[in-house]
Structure 1
Amino acid sequence: MKPADFGDTAEVTNRYDNSIRTRRWTQGKLVDEGFPLSAVPEHLADPEALVWVDLWDPEHTALLELAEEWNLDPYAVEDSLAHGERTKATRYATHTFLTVYATHLFPDSEDEDQAHESRLRTTRISAFVLPRGIITVRRGTPFDIDEVVRRWDENADLLQYGPGALIHGLLDTVVDGQFETIQELDDAAEDLEDCLFEDGASTRQIQQRVYRLRKELVQLRRVVLPMREVVNAVLRTRAESHRHPELDSSYNDLYDHVMRAAEWTDSLREMVNTVFETNLSLQDARLNIVMKKLTGWAAIIAVPTAVTGWYGMNVPYPGVGEWWGLMSGVGIMVVSAIVLYVLFKRRDWL
């Protein structure tokens, strides 16, 4: 079975791999996993059960068939498969639909032609939050769903409070991954600041790194900032349903992390803009220094040129044809050049 092709639910009754994952808890205790998709409606109807179904990169027609069987809104299903869907949370009659993006950075490319390409990669995770469980749909680059499962297992006592605990574990993992990405970009920005004042720094390399970093931050900002609205929507849904205040502290902590990530992203964007402007200012300053030195040396060279030009005229001058005339001309040139050099050196023109 290909990861993107589920086919009929009967065909996956005895099949289970990383493209389809299922779990069921009762009173916070794991009682079953790896069960077939055909058993999902029965488990979702069980008032004592908490169900999780994870689908990785499903085909459109297959997911529509499953959605009809699981009573999912078709518009939400279309949003879970559409390209370029934004981060959001939407409430429907039978469930709440969430779309978030997990992020990570690829290592630097050794190819100079790709040095300006963005290293940021995202995984879109859509979640259908049902009264008795959640259904997640993942698309894009790989996302470590095992980390989410590990957090659920570590906080198994919270799973007795229903799908809110599952959503919290999922969002918490996504936000922590965004934090790691922001930290890596912050480190890259600090390295870039250090390179600005290095004597042997390549201007072209700095420009490429600044451009890449700004591009990555723009992409990251698009998925990090809307997370505030997603968490707010989940909090409003929980408040309206008066469900399990035991999860309030966990969600308040999650919201604080989301706010910190958003603020950090904005401050990092301002830092990179400052680095960009500083780089331009340093280039102007270096150009001014070069022009100042060239002007100083041109002034020093101009003195011997003027003296030799004077003595080279076809008219008699003091000391013409005498050895002291030659020495006087050489002395004037040497003394004038030394005086100008010392004067410019004291004023830091050379």
Structure 2
Amino acid sequence: MAETRFYHFSPEGLFYGLKSLKDALAALAEGGFIWLDYYQPAREDLNILVDAIGIHPLSVEDCFDEQQVPKIEHFSNNSFIIFNSFTYRENELFTDEINLFIGKNFVITVSGHNSDERRPLDGLISVIENDSSTAKNGPAYLMHKVLDYIVDQKYQAFDRMEDELYEAEDLLLENISSFKPIQLILLRRNLATLRKSLFNEREILIKINRMDCPFIPEKALAQYRDVYDHLSKFYELTDKYLEFETSLMELYTSMLNNHLAKVSNATNLSVKRLSLIATIFMPLTLLASIGGMSEWTMITGQENWRISYPLFILGMVIIGVITYIVIKRIEKRGFKIQSEEEENHSG
């Protein structure tokens, strides 16, 4: 739902709202400067400002282009800035583009065209109302308040992502089998998005502090240096979190390999035991097959079966024991040869 708010900062330092753009332009004629705040505006709402205020038509087009990156552009009577606000919830990073215009006697903020129901500047008016003494000094000081508010809101996204990194670490150390690496992959993608935006926003502040923006006087640069410091800290945090994520992924890979090796060893041990049992019973099965044929009397005679049957069972036991001993000696000899080869190789 579109929403528009108009404010006037009078030469006497008063700050008050206005009902329409016409009222704002009339108040501007009396002196001071105006702030026009647009949320999810129609294209026609901003096209009016091309003639009324003098903003460039290309800047209006950029306000509705979702593929823009943070930047600053200068025109004859205003500078155009794009900044990003971030909201992080349920493993997803939402980027809200905020468009800013600053001129000699006006500030324009445009937001919400890609925000769904999010309102990236919703609490800004309260900040201005509670501390209008600085903002009333001119458009450059109001613009600083806006940028400072946008940058401060980024902290919530960083705080949530940091919590998820530590939660992922705890889950990984507690139970690797239930850990899902997609968590780290999504976090890395979100951090990369943050890093790209912060890099461009930091470049904007560098240009402003270099006095590239003709509508921000030198006496206001101290406030903008503070915004630059905050952006630099967030940028460093992004690098730190990316390194942390990389370490967690390497730890996951290492622990997964160890887990798979243990499973493989357990499987090999089971196969080895089954092979041993099968090897022992192979000759016994052969003897049992022969001794259990219907022609058993041909082997021992019916009258000798009471004696031959126990002897037959005893013979099978002896053969099984001998087979077991022979297999164990062969294994022991194999382990000994392998150990000697490893010692020779290490030596």
User: In structure 2, which of residues 159, 162, 168 is the aligned counterpart of residue 186 of structure 1?
Assistant: 162
> Aligned equivalents of 1:270 and 1:46: distance in 2?
55
Partner of 1:164: 140
Query: Conserved in 2, the CA contact under 8 Å of 1:50 and 1:163?
Result: yes
**1:1-350 mapped onto 2 (5 Å cutoff):** 3=2, 19-26=3-10, 29-47=13-31, 49-106=32-89, 108=90, 119-138=92-111, 139-141=113-115, 142-199=118-175, 201-203=177-179, 206-237=180-211, 243=217, 245=219, 247-314=220-287, 321=311, 324-325=314-315, 327-328=317-318
The code of the aligned residue for 1:25 comes to F
Number of residue-to-residue matches in the alignment: 309
Query: Conserved in 1, the CA contact under 8 Å of 2:284 and 2:316?
Result: no
What is the aligned-residue RMSD (CA, Å)?
3.2
Distance 1:296 1:127, change over 3 A: same
- Which structure has the larger Rg? 2
> Aligned equivalents of 2:233 and 2:189: distance in 1?
21
Query: Conserved in 2, the CA contact under 8 Å of 1:28 and 1:157?
Result: no
The code of the aligned residue for 2:53 comes to W
The code of the aligned residue for 1:227 comes to E
SS of the residue 1:89 aligns to: strand
Bigger relative contact order, structure 1 or 2 (CA pairs below 8 A, ≥6 apart) = 1
What residue ranges of structure 2 are gaps of 5+ in the alignment?
292-308, 336-347
Post-superposition offset of 1:134? 0.2
SS of the residue 1:161 aligns to: coil
SS of the residue 2:81 aligns to: strand
Post-superposition offset of 1:211? 2.8
TM-score (norm 1): 0.77
More helix by share: 2
> Aligned equivalents of 1:236 and 1:150: distance in 2?
30
The code of the aligned residue for 1:290 comes to V
Post-superposition offset of 1:96? 0.7
SS of the residue 1:90 aligns to: strand
SS of the residue 2:211 aligns to: helix
What residue ranges of structure 1 are gaps of 5+ in the alignment?
4-18, 109-117, 345-350
Identity of aligned residues (%): 20
Post-superposition offset of 1:33? 0.5
> Aligned equivalents of 2:323 and 2:162: distance in 1?
56
Post-superposition offset of 1:188? 0.9
TM-score (norm 2): 0.77
> Aligned equivalents of 1:312 and 1:92: distance in 2?
96
